[in-house]
Chains A and B, each alone.
Chain A
């Protein structure tokens, strides 16, 4: 007999990057994010054991993670912003003219900028830009129309860019 947990882990462990990064944008601390990722896998496994198995694993895990965060972590995440500094971490890999200007920004600044967005914008950006879901899939995960996701996505992206626009202008001068 093939163990349920082996089949589950084979199907889902490739999504750990998605689940962890989504968790990091739903709760503030790194340890709390690790706990949320672990709880997401546990809840998903219980659903798997009950034969609730998805056609596509990524949106399924993202939905579980989002629901768990909303129901269990929201109160705890209302603490003041604490940004974990990662010294020396830079925004590398930006190779077009506008964004290369931002290469000197460190990751802590980007992370802090993310947390200045509304939760809806942060989640939309994480699902589409980080997790690679389509906007239609993100709409299902967020239980909202696709047009709303497009709007949150764009306003979130724009807010991130504008938060850092002064830096761009300085480099362009």
Chain B
């Protein structure tokens, strides 16, 4: 979206902040929006809260528990094996 199209669009601080904080505004729209931020209290506040919220959300990331990867591998191998056995068993030969 160009800066011009952004200017013509209805003023929507929430949507603009969401796109800006997510890094999804095209470069030209970013330039326009960043200069707009200097004059618009509403957009400034939404961007500030959006940035804090995003940082917090990223920080809640948890490491994968020890053993889960092995459990998943074992489950998948077992499922692959049981299906193969079923396929061989039902048709008399391997598919």
Interface residues on A, range: 35 or more
**Is there contact, CB below 8 Å, between B68 and A130?**
no
Query: CB of B65 within 8 A of chain A?
Result: yes
Q: How far in angstroms is the closest Cβ of chain B from A105?
A: 8
> Given A134-B24, A154-B50, is A147 in contact with B68 using a C-beta cutoff of 8 Å?
no
Contact status B22-A49, CB under 8 Å: no
Residues of B within 8 A of A93 (CB): 59
Which chain A residues (27-53) contact chain B, with CB distance < 8 Å?
Answer: 30, 34, 37-38, 41-42, 45-46, 49
Contact A3 B80 (CB under 8 A): yes
Interface of A is mostly: helix
**Contact: B52 with A38, CB < 8 Å?**
no
Determine the distance from Cα of A150 to Cα of B12 in the docked complex, in whole angstroms.
11
For B63, the closest partner residue in chain A by CB is A17
* A153 CA to B52 CA, complexed, in Å: 13
Does A5 count as interface, using CB distance less than 8 angstroms? Answer: yes
